[in-house]
Structure 1
Amino acid sequence: MRFTFGKALLFLTFTYCGPLQPAMALDVVNFSVAGADDELEDELKSASLVLSSEGDAEKDSRDVFAAALAEYGQLVQTLYANGYYGGVVRVRVDGREAAQIPPFDVPGSIRRIDISVNPGPQFRFGTAKAAPLAPNTEMPDEFRTGEIARSVTVQQAVDVAVLGWREAGYAKVDLAGQTITANHANAQLSASLAFAPGPKVRFGKLRQNTESAVRTDRIARIAGFPEGRVFSPDDLETVAKRLRRTGAFSSVTLTEADTLGPGNTMDIGLALVDEAPRRFGFGAELGSIEGLQLTAFWLHRNMFGGAERFRVDGEVAGIGSQHGGIDYYLDARLDQPATFGPDTHAFVFGSLAYEDEPGYISRSAGLGGGVKRIFSDTLEGELGAALLYSETTDVLGDRRFFLFALPASLTWDRRNDKLDTTRGTYLKAEAIPFVSVDTGGTGAWLYGDGRAYRGFGAEDRFVLAGRVQVGSVFAGNSNDIPPDYLFYSGGGGTVRGQPYKSLGLDAGGGEITGGQSFAVLSAELRAQITDKIGVVGFVDAGHVAGGSLFDGDGNWHTGGGIGVRYKTPIGPLRLDVAGPISGDTGDGVQVYIGIGQAF
Structure 2
Amino acid sequence: MRGRLMAAALMAVLGLGATTQTATALESIDFNAEGASDSLMETLRASSLLLTAQEAERTAPLDLMAAARAEYGRLIGLLYEQAYFAPTIHVRVDGREAADIAPLSNPTTIDRIVVDIVLGPQFTFGEVSVEPLIAGTVLPEDFATGQPARSTTVRAALNTALDAWRAQGYALAAAADQRVVANHNANQLNVRLTLTPGPQLRIGTVVPQGQERTRPQRIVDIAGLERGEIHNPEDITDAETRLRQTGAFASVVLNTAETANPDGTVDVTALVQEAPPRRIGFGAEIDSESGGRLSGFWLHRNLLGGAERLRLEAAVDGIAARVGGLGYTLDARYTRPATLNRDTDLELGLNAVRLNERDYEADAFQADATLVRRYSDALRASAGLILRFESADFAGTSRDFGTFGIPVTVTHDTRDVALNATDGHYVWAEAMPYLGFAEAQSGLRLRFDARTYHDLGSEGRFVLAGRAQLGAVIGPDIDATPRGYLFYSGGGGTVRGLPYQSLGVTSGGTDSGGRGFAGLSAELRVRINDTFSVVAFADAGAVSSGVFSGETDWQAGGGAGIRYATPIGPLRLDLAVPIRRNAGVTGNNVQLYLGIGQAF
Report the 3-state secondary structure (helix = DSSP H, G, I; strand = E; otherwise coil) of the residue aligned with 1:159: helix
For the Cα contact (< 8 Å) 2:31–2:116, is it kept in 1?
yes
Shift of residue 175, structure 1, vs aligned partner: 0.7
Q: How many Å separate the matches in 1 of 2:37 and 2:454?
A: 32
Report the 3-state secondary structure (helix = DSSP H, G, I; strand = E; otherwise coil) of the residue aligned with 1:460: coil
Counterparts of 1:99-498 in structure 2, within 5 Å, are 99-395=99-395, 397-438=397-438, 441-498=441-498
For the Cα contact (< 8 Å) 1:25–1:60, is it kept in 2?
no
- The answer for the alignment partner of 2:574 in structure 1 is 576
- The answer for the alignment partner of 1:594 in structure 2 is 595
Shift of residue 396, structure 1, vs aligned partner: 7.1
For the Cα contact (< 8 Å) 1:536–1:564, is it kept in 2?
yes
For the Cα contact (< 8 Å) 2:94–2:113, is it kept in 1?
yes
Shift of residue 582, structure 1, vs aligned partner: 2.1
- The answer for the alignment partner of 2:565 in structure 1 is 567
Shift of residue 157, structure 1, vs aligned partner: 0.7
- The answer for the alignment partner of 2:516 in structure 1 is 517
Q: How many Å separate the matches in 1 of 2:63 and 2:275?
A: 40
For the Cα contact (< 8 Å) 1:205–1:227, is it kept in 2?
yes
Q: How many Å separate the matches in 1 of 2:508 and 2:24?
A: 83
Q: Which moved more, 1:281-290 or 1:440-449?
A: 440-449
Matched, 1:529 2:502: no
- The answer for the alignment partner of 2:547 in structure 1 is 548
Shift of residue 365, structure 1, vs aligned partner: 0.6
Code of the aligned partner of 1:582 = R
For residues 148 and 477 of structure 1, do their structure 2 counterparts lie closer, same or farther at Cα, with a shift above 3 Å needed?
Answer: same
Q: How many Å separate the matches in 1 of 2:112 and 2:473?
A: 76
Report the 3-state secondary structure (helix = DSSP H, G, I; strand = E; otherwise coil) of the residue aligned with 2:39: helix
Shift of residue 42, structure 1, vs aligned partner: 1.0
Code of the aligned partner of 1:26 = L
| Per-residue CA distance 1:166-205 (angstroms, 9 max, x = gap) | 0011011111112212223333222221111011111111
Report the 3-state secondary structure (helix = DSSP H, G, I; strand = E; otherwise coil) of the residue aligned with 1:44: helix
Q: How many Å separate the matches in 2 of 1:548 and 1:508?
A: 17
Q: How many Å separate the matches in 1 of 2:464 and 2:118?
A: 44
Shift of residue 163, structure 1, vs aligned partner: 0.5
For the Cα contact (< 8 Å) 1:349–1:369, is it kept in 2?
yes
For the Cα contact (< 8 Å) 1:94–1:113, is it kept in 2?
yes
For residues 403 and 526 of structure 1, do their structure 2 counterparts lie closer, same or farther at Cα, with a shift above 3 Å needed?
Answer: same
Shift of residue 11, structure 1, vs aligned partner: 5.7
- The answer for the alignment partner of 1:3 in structure 2 is none
Q: How many Å separate the matches in 2 of 1:444 and 1:133?
A: 57
Shift of residue 453, structure 1, vs aligned partner: 1.4
Code of the aligned partner of 1:533 = F
- The answer for the alignment partner of 1:499 in structure 2 is 499
Report the 3-state secondary structure (helix = DSSP H, G, I; strand = E; otherwise coil) of the residue aligned with 2:236: helix
Q: How many Å separate the matches in 2 of 1:71 and 1:337?
A: 51
Report the 3-state secondary structure (helix = DSSP H, G, I; strand = E; otherwise coil) of the residue aligned with 1:421: coil
- The answer for the alignment partner of 2:88 in structure 1 is 88
Shift of residue 9, structure 1, vs aligned partner: 11
Report the 3-state secondary structure (helix = DSSP H, G, I; strand = E; otherwise coil) of the residue aligned with 1:597: coil
Shift of residue 39, structure 1, vs aligned partner: 1.1
For the Cα contact (< 8 Å) 1:435–1:441, is it kept in 2?
yes
For the Cα contact (< 8 Å) 1:26–1:56, is it kept in 2?
no
Code of the aligned partner of 2:595 = G
For the Cα contact (< 8 Å) 1:22–1:108, is it kept in 2?
no
Q: How many Å separate the matches in 2 of 1:513 and 1:21?
A: 79
Shift of residue 210, structure 1, vs aligned partner: 2.8
For residues 379 and 396 of structure 1, do their structure 2 counterparts lie closer, same or farther at Cα, with a shift above 3 Å needed?
Answer: farther
| Per-residue CA distance 1:95-115 (angstroms, 9 max, x = gap) | 111111111111112221111
For residues 292 and 10 of structure 1, do their structure 2 counterparts lie closer, same or farther at Cα, with a shift above 3 Å needed?
Answer: farther
Code of the aligned partner of 2:536 = G
Q: CA RMSD in A?
A: 2.1
For residues 27 and 515 of structure 1, do their structure 2 counterparts lie closer, same or farther at Cα, with a shift above 3 Å needed?
Answer: farther
Shift of residue 261, structure 1, vs aligned partner: 1.1
Shift of residue 27, structure 1, vs aligned partner: 3.3
Q: How many Å separate the matches in 2 of 1:209 and 1:36?
A: 51
Code of the aligned partner of 1:574 = R
Report the 3-state secondary structure (helix = DSSP H, G, I; strand = E; otherwise coil) of the residue aligned with 1:263: coil
For residues 370 and 387 of structure 1, do their structure 2 counterparts lie closer, same or farther at Cα, with a shift above 3 Å needed?
Answer: same
For residues 185 and 543 of structure 1, do their structure 2 counterparts lie closer, same or farther at Cα, with a shift above 3 Å needed?
Answer: farther
For residues 396 and 382 of structure 1, do their structure 2 counterparts lie closer, same or farther at Cα, with a shift above 3 Å needed?
Answer: farther
Report the 3-state secondary structure (helix = DSSP H, G, I; strand = E; otherwise coil) of the residue aligned with 1:122: coil
Q: How many Å separate the matches in 2 of 1:194 and 1:217?
A: 40
| Per-residue CA distance 1:325-363 (angstroms, 9 max, x = gap) | 111111111111122111112222111111011122111
Q: How many Å separate the matches in 2 of 1:252 and 1:474?
A: 47
Q: Number of aligned residue pairs: give it.
A: 591
Q: How many Å separate the matches in 1 of 2:147 and 2:460?
A: 31
Code of the aligned partner of 1:313 = E
| Per-residue CA distance 1:119-163 (angstroms, 9 max, x = gap) | 222222222321211121111121122222211111111111110
Report the 3-state secondary structure (helix = DSSP H, G, I; strand = E; otherwise coil) of the residue aligned with 1:372: strand
Report the 3-state secondary structure (helix = DSSP H, G, I; strand = E; otherwise coil) of the residue aligned with 1:479: helix
Q: How many Å separate the matches in 2 of 1:552 and 1:218?
A: 54
Gaps of 5+ in 2: none
Q: How many Å separate the matches in 2 of 1:22 and 1:121?
A: 42
Shift of residue 570, structure 1, vs aligned partner: 1.3
Q: Which moved more, 1:182-191 or 1:150-159?
A: 182-191
Report the 3-state secondary structure (helix = DSSP H, G, I; strand = E; otherwise coil) of the residue aligned with 1:262: coil
Q: TM-score, normalised by structure 1?
A: 0.94
For residues 152 and 477 of structure 1, do their structure 2 counterparts lie closer, same or farther at Cα, with a shift above 3 Å needed?
Answer: same
For the Cα contact (< 8 Å) 2:490–2:500, is it kept in 1?
yes
Code of the aligned partner of 1:512 = D
For the Cα contact (< 8 Å) 2:400–2:439, is it kept in 1?
no
For residues 9 and 271 of structure 1, do their structure 2 counterparts lie closer, same or farther at Cα, with a shift above 3 Å needed?
Answer: same
Code of the aligned partner of 1:571 = G
- The answer for the alignment partner of 2:22 in structure 1 is 22
For the Cα contact (< 8 Å) 2:69–2:98, is it kept in 1?
yes
Report the 3-state secondary structure (helix = DSSP H, G, I; strand = E; otherwise coil) of the residue aligned with 2:139: coil
| Per-residue CA distance 1:553-595 (angstroms, 9 max, x = gap) | 3222221111111111111111111111223345511111111
Code of the aligned partner of 1:544 = V
Shift of residue 508, structure 1, vs aligned partner: 7.8
Q: How many Å separate the matches in 2 of 1:41 and 1:186?
A: 26
For the Cα contact (< 8 Å) 1:378–1:412, is it kept in 2?
yes
Code of the aligned partner of 2:564 = Y
Q: How many Å separate the matches in 2 of 1:536 and 1:525?
A: 6
Report the 3-state secondary structure (helix = DSSP H, G, I; strand = E; otherwise coil) of the residue aligned with 1:65: helix
For residues 440 and 362 of structure 1, do their structure 2 counterparts lie closer, same or farther at Cα, with a shift above 3 Å needed?
Answer: closer
Q: How many Å separate the matches in 1 of 2:182 and 2:138?
A: 25
Shift of residue 30, structure 1, vs aligned partner: 1.0
Code of the aligned partner of 2:232 = S
Report the 3-state secondary structure (helix = DSSP H, G, I; strand = E; otherwise coil) of the residue aligned with 2:125: strand
Q: How many Å separate the matches in 2 of 1:91 and 1:553?
A: 82
Code of the aligned partner of 1:598 = A
For residues 459 and 111 of structure 1, do their structure 2 counterparts lie closer, same or farther at Cα, with a shift above 3 Å needed?
Answer: farther
Identity of aligned residues (%): 42
